[in-house]
Structure 1
Amino acid sequence: MNASDGIRVTLSELIEMRHRVREVQLFSTPSQRSPLIGLHHSKLRGRGVDFDQVRVYQAGDDVRTIDWRVTARTQEPHTKLFHEERERPIFIMVEQSCRLFFGSGLMFKSVLAAQAASLIGWAALGHNDRVGGLVFGDNEHYEIKPRRSKQSLLQLLNRLVRVNQSLNTESRPETDALGMALRRGREVLRPGSLVIVICDERALTEGAEQQLSLLSRHCDLLLPISDPLDHALPAAGLLRFAQRGAQLELDTLNVDLRQAYKAQAEARSARWELLAQKLRILLMPLSTQSEMVEQLRDYLNPQRPVKKQ
Structure 2
Amino acid sequence: MQPYLISQPGIRISLAELIEMRHRVREVQLFSSPSRRSPLIGLHHSKLRGRGVDFDQVRVYQAGDDVRTIDWRVTARTQEPHTKLFHEERERPIFLMVEQSRRLFFGSGLMFKSVLAAQAAALIGWAALGHNDRVGGLVFGDNEHYEIKPRRSKQSLLQLLNRLVRVNQSLHTEAVADRDTFGVALRRAREVLRPGSLVFILCDERALSDSAEQQLTLLSRHCDLLLLPLSDPLDHALPAAGLLRFAEKGAQLELDTLNPDLRQTYRAQGEARQARWELLAKKLRVLMIPLSTQREMVEQLRDYLNAQQPVKPK
Taking structure 1 as the reference length, the TM-score comes to 0.90
User: Partner of 2:112 in structure 1?
Assistant: 108
Alignment of 1:142-181 (within 5 A): 142-181=146-185
2:15 to 11, 17, 33: 11
- 1:102 & 1:223 partners in 2: Cα distance? 17
2:201 to 193, 197, 203: 197
2:246 to 241, 259, 266: 241
Per-residue deviation, 1:244: 3.2
Per-residue deviation, 1:175: 1.6
With over 3 angstroms needed to count, the CA separation of the structure-2 counterparts of 1:60 and 1:189, relative to structure 1, is farther
Q: Equivalent residue of 1:53, what SS?
A: strand
Per-residue deviation, 1:16: 0.6
Per-residue deviation, 1:179: 1.1
User: Which runs of no fewer than 5 residues in structure 1 stay unpaired?
Assistant: 305-309
- 1:187 & 1:62 partners in 2: Cα distance? 37
User: Partner of 1:53 in structure 2?
Assistant: 56
Aligned residues: 301
With over 3 angstroms needed to count, the CA separation of the structure-2 counterparts of 1:186 and 1:79, relative to structure 1, is farther
Q: Letter of the aligned partner of 1:160 in structure 2? A: L
User: Partner of 2:213 in structure 1?
Assistant: 209
With over 3 angstroms needed to count, the CA separation of the structure-2 counterparts of 1:7 and 1:130, relative to structure 1, is same
- 1:39 & 1:231 partners in 2: Cα distance? 30
- 2:130 & 2:31 partners in 1: Cα distance? 9
Per-residue deviation, 1:64: 7.2
Does the Cα contact within 8 Å between 1:137 and 1:177 map onto a contact in 2? yes
Q: Letter of the aligned partner of 2:272 in structure 1? A: A
* C-alpha distance after superposition, 1:124-172 (max 9, x if no partner): 1111111111000111110101111110100000000000000011111
- 1:250 & 1:60 partners in 2: Cα distance? 54
**What CA RMSD, in Å, does the superposition of the two structures yield over aligned residues?**
2.3
2:129 to 125, 129, 135: 125
Per-residue deviation, 1:189: 1.1
With over 3 angstroms needed to count, the CA separation of the structure-2 counterparts of 1:212 and 1:144, relative to structure 1, is same
User: Partner of 1:259 in structure 2?
Assistant: 264
2:294 to 276, 289, 305: 289
- 1:32 & 1:80 partners in 2: Cα distance? 11
Does the Cα contact within 8 Å between 2:70 and 2:83 map onto a contact in 1? yes
Taking structure 2 as the reference length, the TM-score comes to 0.88
Q: Equivalent residue of 2:40, what SS?
A: helix
Work out whether 1:88 is the aligned partner of 2:95: no
With over 3 angstroms needed to count, the CA separation of the structure-2 counterparts of 1:133 and 1:65, relative to structure 1, is farther
- 1:174 & 1:219 partners in 2: Cα distance? 27
Does the Cα contact within 8 Å between 1:30 and 1:55 map onto a contact in 2? no
Per-residue deviation, 1:52: 5.5
Per-residue deviation, 1:253: 1.1
Per-residue deviation, 1:43: 2.5
Q: Letter of the aligned partner of 1:265 in structure 2? A: G
* C-alpha distance after superposition, 1:173-203 (max 9, x if no partner): 2221111111111111113211100000000
With over 3 angstroms needed to count, the CA separation of the structure-2 counterparts of 1:97 and 1:90, relative to structure 1, is same
User: Partner of 1:278 in structure 2?
Assistant: 283
- 2:183 & 2:247 partners in 1: Cα distance? 27
Does the Cα contact within 8 Å between 2:29 and 2:38 map onto a contact in 1? yes
- 1:138 & 1:65 partners in 2: Cα distance? 49
Work out whether 1:219 is the aligned partner of 2:221: no
* C-alpha distance after superposition, 1:214-249 (max 9, x if no partner): 111413311100000000001101112223333222
With over 3 angstroms needed to count, the CA separation of the structure-2 counterparts of 1:205 and 1:213, relative to structure 1, is same
